C-alpha cells in the first residue's frame, strides 16, 4: 500500500459536539479541530451533527441545503427533517446539521436539571438514521466514517444492516470502514430493549453480536463490537478500559478485540492556547520571559479574585468539572487542611458540577477569602488567566481518558500534580531522580489515590519550587517546549484511517479506494 501521506481520503466525522457550535466537554474541542487539521494534510473531510439551538448562537453562517428526508419512527410516525450547512472556523470543512426541532431544539444537549431527557434513545437513533441519509447523498463516496461516543455509536451496525434508504436504492456499502472514538467509556447510552424499535430494523437483528446487551440496548457496546477499530483518546486509557477497574462492564469485550483498540492523545489548539499571544492575559510571555511575566499575571489575577497580592506565595489552580471523577474527594480534604493550618498557599478554582461540592467551595471561600477564591460556573477568559497565573495545577483525577487542562498547563509553564492514569500518565513525566538526570521531568505524580498522597505530591512540588530552583526552571521550560498541537495527533489518525481501510478491503479494493486524488 502506498504511503498514507499521499493518499486522498474522504472522511466523515459524526458527533454531537464541535466547537463553536455545541459544547459540553472535550469532545467538542476534538471534533471542532481534528477534521480541519486532517483536511489541511490533503484529505476531504466533513462533519455531521444535530442542529441544536446553540448553532445559531455560534455566530457562524448557516445556509439551507436541498437535502430533506422523512424517517418512520415508532407508532407509525413519519418524522421529517432537513439539513443545514456551515463550516468549521478557519477553513472550508463543511458541517452538516440534522435539523429536527422536536428532537434538537431544546435548552441543552442531553438533559436538564431533572436528568437526561427521557427520549434520548429516540433522539439519537433518529440522528444516526438521518446521518446515514446525509452520507448517501454526499457528492463523493465515503472512504471512512469516524463516530464519536455513544450518541453516534449505532452507525457501524446501521451501515452493516442497511438495505436501502429513504430515497429508493441509495445505500452506503456494507463494507464502509468505521472507527469509533471513545472519549469517556463511562457514558454508554444504555436503554430498554423496546427502544430498539426506533432503528427501523427487524427484531431478529437485536442480537448479542450487535445491539443487545444484557437484555437492553447499549449504544456504545453496539459500536464497539461492530466498528472496524476502536480508538480512545490516550494510549494508557486504551489499556485501562480493558481492565475491570476502568472497563465499566465492557472490559471483557474490549479485551477480546486485541489490537483493534488503540489510543491517540488529543491535541490542543495552539493558536488559542498560546501565552505569547493570549488576549486574556495581563502580560504575554514565552519560554524566555516566563519567570517575571507569570508573576505579573499572578498579581493581576490575585487582584481580580480578591486574594492578597503577593508574587511569592504559591498559587494553586484548578479548572474543570466539580465531580468525583476529577478527584474532589481528595482535593477538598487537602484544601480544608491548608485553610485550617493557614498554610502559605492560595487556591484559585473555576468550575461547576456537583451541588454539594459547589456549596462547600462557596462556603470555604467566604470563610477564607485570603486563601481561596472559587468561581462557580465557567468563564473561558478566567480559565486562561488561571492557567497563566498559577504555579501549580492540581488534577488528581480518579480516571482521565485524555485531559486537556494538563496540556494547557504545560504550554503556560504551570507545573501539574496529577494521578498516573489515562492521558495524565501519557503527558506528564513524574519528577524523580531518573527523570531529573535524563531531562524528561514535566510534573509530579501521586503515589496513591488518596488525600495524603495528594498533599505529599503538592508538598514535594513546592519543595522543588523553593529549594531546587534550577530543577524547577527546567521542569517549567521543558513543559513549555512540548508540542501538543493537533498536527502530530492528526497524522496518527490519518495513519489509523489508512490502516483500517486497508484491513477492511482486499488489496485490490484498497488500492482503488485510496488512490483517488
Please identify which residue in the block is written with the cell numbers 503577593: 310
Taking the C-alpha atoms of residue 457 and residue 366, their distance in angstroms, rounded to an integer, is 27
Taking the C-alpha atoms of residue 196 and residue 497, their distance in angstroms, rounded to an integer, is 30
Backbone angles phi, psi at 322, to 5 degrees: -90, 85
Q: Which residues contact 130 (CB under 8 A, 6 or more apart)?
A: 69, 71, 81, 98, 100
Calculate the CA dihedral of residues 404, 409, 415, 421 and round it to 10 degrees.
Answer: 0
Q: How many alpha carbons fall within 13 Å on the CB side of residue 370? A: 8
To the nearest 10 degrees (0 to 180), the angle between helices 486-504 and 26-40 is 80
State how beta strands 44-50 and 443-445 pair: unpaired
To the nearest 10 degrees (0 to 180), the angle between helices 290-305 and 380-389 is 130
Taking the C-alpha atoms of residue 54 and residue 22, their distance in angstroms, rounded to an integer, is 6
366 burial level (CB within 10 Å; 0-12, 13-18, 19+): exposed
Taking the C-alpha atoms of residue 196 and residue 176, their distance in angstroms, rounded to an integer, is 23
Taking the C-alpha atoms of residue 452 and residue 160, their distance in angstroms, rounded to an integer, is 51
235 burial level (CB within 10 Å; 0-12, 13-18, 19+): middle
Other residues' Cβ atoms within 10 Å of the Cβ of residue 258: 8
Q: Which residues contact 234 (CB under 8 A, 6 or more apart)?
A: 263, 264, 265, 266, 401, 402, 422, 423, 425, 426, 427
The H or E element that residue 435 is part of is helix 433-437
- β strands within 368-474, DSSP E: 372-376, 392-395, 415-418, 443-445
365 burial level (CB within 10 Å; 0-12, 13-18, 19+): buried
Please identify which residue in the block is written with the cell numbers 430493549: 193
23 is in an annotated binding site: yes
For the record, the C-alpha cell of 176 comes out as 464502509
Residues that constitute the known binding site: 23
Residues that constitute the known binding site for ADP-alpha-D-glucose: 23
Amino acid at each position: 500500500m502506498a504511503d498514507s501521506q499521499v493518499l486522498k481520503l474522504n472522511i466523515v466525522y459524526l458527533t454531537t459536539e464541535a466547537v463553536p457550535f455545541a459544547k459540553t466537554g472535550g469532545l467538542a474541542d476534538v471534533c471542532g479541530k481534528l477534521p480541519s487539521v486532517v483536511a489541511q494534510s490533503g484529505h476531504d473531510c466533513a462533519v455531521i451533527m444535530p442542529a441544536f439551538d446553540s448553532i445559531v448562537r455560534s455566530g457562524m453562517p448557516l445556509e439551507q441545503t436541498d437535502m430533506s428526508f422523512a424517517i418512520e419512527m415508532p407508532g407509525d410516525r413519519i418524522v421529517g427533517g432537513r439539513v443545514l450547512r456551515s463550516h468549521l472556523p478557519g477553513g472550508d470543512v463543511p458541517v452538516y446539521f440534522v435539523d429536527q426541532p422536536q428532537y434538537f431544539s431544546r435548552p441543552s444537549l442531553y438533559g436538564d436539571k431533572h436528568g437526561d431527557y427521557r427520549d434520548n434513545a429516540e433522539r439519537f437513533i433518529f440522528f444516526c438514521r438521518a446521518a446515514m441519509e446525509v452520507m448517501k447523498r454526499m457528492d463523493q463516496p465515503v472512504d471512512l466514517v469516524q463516530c464519536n461516543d455513544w450518541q453516534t455509536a449505532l452507525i457501524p451496525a446501521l451501515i452493516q444492516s442497511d438495505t436501502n434508504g429513504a430515497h429508493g436504492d441509495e445505500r452506503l456499502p456494507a463494507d464502509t470502514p468505521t472507527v469509533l472514538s471513545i472519549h469517556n467509556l463511562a457514558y454508554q447510552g444504555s436503554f430498554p430493549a423496546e427502544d430498539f424499535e426506533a432503528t427501523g430494523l427487524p427484531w431478529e437483528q437485536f442480537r448479542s453480536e450487535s445491539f443487545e446487551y444484557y437484555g437492553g440496548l447499549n449504544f456504545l457496546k453496539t459500536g464497539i463490537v461492530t466498528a472496524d477499530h476502536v480508538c480512545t483518546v490516550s494510549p494508557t486509557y486504551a489499556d485501562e478500559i480493558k481492565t475491570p477497574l476502568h472497563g465499566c462492564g465492557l472490559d471483557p469485550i474490549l479485551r477480546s478485540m486485541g489490537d483493534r483498540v488503540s489510543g491517540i492523545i488529543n491535541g490542543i489548539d495552539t493558536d488559542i492556547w498560546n501565552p505569547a499571544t493570549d488576549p486574556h492575559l495581563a502580560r504575554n510571555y514565552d519560554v524566555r520571559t516566563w519567570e517575571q511575566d507569570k508573576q505579573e499575571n499572578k498579581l493581576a489575577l490575585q487582584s481580580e479574585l480578591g486574594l492578597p497580592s503577593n508574587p511569592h506565595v504559591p498559587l494553586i489552580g484548578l479548572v474543570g468539572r466539580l465531580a468525583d471523577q476529577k478527584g474532589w474527594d481528595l482535593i477538598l480534604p487537602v484544601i480544608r487542611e491548608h485553610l485550617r493550618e493557614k498554610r502559605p498557599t492560595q487556591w484559585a478554582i473555576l468550575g461547576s458540577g456537583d451541588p454539594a461540592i459547589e456549596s462547600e467551595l462557596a462556603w470555604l471561600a467566604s470563610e477564607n477569602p485570603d486563601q481561596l477564591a472559587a468561581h462557580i460556573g465557567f468563564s473561558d477568559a478566567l480559565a486562561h488567566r488561571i492557567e497563566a497565573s498559577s504555579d501549580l495545577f492540581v488534577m488528581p483525577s480518579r480516571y482521565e481518558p485524555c485531559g486537556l487542562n494538563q496540556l494547557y498547563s504545560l504550554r503556560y509553564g504551570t507545573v501539574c500534580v496529577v494521578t498516573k492514569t489515562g492521558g495524565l500518565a501519557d503527558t506528564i513525566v513524574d519528577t524523580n531522580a531518573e527523570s531529573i538526570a535524563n531531562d524528561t521531568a514535566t510534573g509530579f505524580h501521586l503515589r496513591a489515590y488518596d488525600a495524603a498522597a495528594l498533599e505529599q505530591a503538592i508538598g514535594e512540588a513546592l519543595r522543588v519550587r523553593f529549594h531546587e530552583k534550577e530543577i524547577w526552571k527546567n521542569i517549567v521550560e521543558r513543559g513549555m517546549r512540548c508540542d501538543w498541537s493537533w498536527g502530530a495527533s492528526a497524522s496518527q489518525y490519518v495513519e489509523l484511517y489508512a490502516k483500517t481501510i486497508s484491513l477492511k478491503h482486499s488489496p485490490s479494493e484498497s488500492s482503488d479506494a485510496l488512490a483517488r486524488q
